[in-house]
Amino acid sequence: MQQRNLGPFTVSASGLGCMNVSMGYGPRIPDADAGRLFNAALDRGYSFLDTASLYGLGHNESLIGTYLSSRRDEYVLASKCGFSRTAEGKTVMDGRPAVLQETCEDSLRRLDTDVIDLYYLHRIDPQVPVEESVGALAQLVAQGKIKTIGLSEICADSLRRAHAVHPITAVQSEYSLWTRTPERKVLATCSELGISFVPFSPLARQFLTGKSPDVTAVLEDDIRATIARPRFEPQNFAQNQKLLGPFGKIAESNGCTRAQLALAWLLAQGDNIIPIPGTKHMEWMLENAGGDAVSLDTATVAELDALINEDTVAGYRYTDALMASTDSEKDWPRAGGLE
């Protein structure tokens, strides 16, 4: 796989999002199967793995610790903090320094490692100034428990405030052909400040592969039936599916799959962009690895831009409540309800 710079690290042009094996898209696969998938990903050339304390409430980190600790020098490891559990068992945003310190200690133990290479604040806690949370992460750097700091789903103003406290290595947010929010301000801010951008859900929660069902055909706890429901509602989904025919023809003309085309479009947006497609399926992990071998000319990039964008996609990426509470959406406020 091609290589890209991520702060002080050199990593594969596409990383591996590890969440899917633990939560989000249907039942977990057996732990041993997850271990085989992770090891096969390293064998294929993936050298950037992304997890979080939230994923499976520690399960995902434990898988990495169990199955990859013996190969720790082969990959750059990213994890995340910024959530806690209430006495009632509810998961809430929590950016208090003491919580971030405790979460990091727990993650290090589960991951069976001495240090986390890139540690993100998973979401900004509206009750805690971002400067305070990033200050706590800077202390973790000083303690040698993490090497670099990242932020997730953050607006440009919050990013600048955080970067003034401690250099930010990467921003992770949803970005794909059908989710363009980062193009409003954050991508330009990252380029200005020398920060890498890590798109999650680069395949639009499977939609761009042509394999995704609508909301009526997934389990009730599937992300496409919960926080990302609007675009998968039957009416919106039917409208969005009309985009897949032309999209598939562009992929065919470029000698690649739809998934590889979606990743190639992202990689063409800038050398600082490192997508992290996630999957539970061995064959799709291997397929995604081929995205960096697809070279798109300017005309094809423009054709894709015109075909799939915020104006041609029906429905918001999140529910109304989540849109209102997500810091990155401050860069691109949208009036009214769901489309």
Q: Which residues are known to be catalytic? A: 55
CA proximity to 185, closest of 156, 226, 205:
156
Rounded CA gap, 317 and 326, in Å? 11
- Strands 116-121 and 146-152, how do they pair? parallel
Token digits for 144?
Answer: 């040698």
- Torsion, Cα 210 176 28 52, to 10 degrees, reads 170
Contact 61, 53 (CB under 8 A): yes
The label of the residue with tokens 């209102």 reads: 324
Report the first-to-last Cα separation within the chain, whole angstroms: 39
Token digits for 197?
Answer: 């951008």
Give φ, ψ of 248 to 5 degrees: -65, -35
Residue 70, Cβ neighbours under 10 Å: how many?
Answer: 10
Rounded CA gap, 63 and 84, in Å? 20
Rounded CA gap, 187 and 28, in Å? 33
- Rounded to the nearest 5 percent, the helix, strand and coil shares of the chain are 45, 15, 35
What residues form DSSP beta bridges with 120?
80, 150
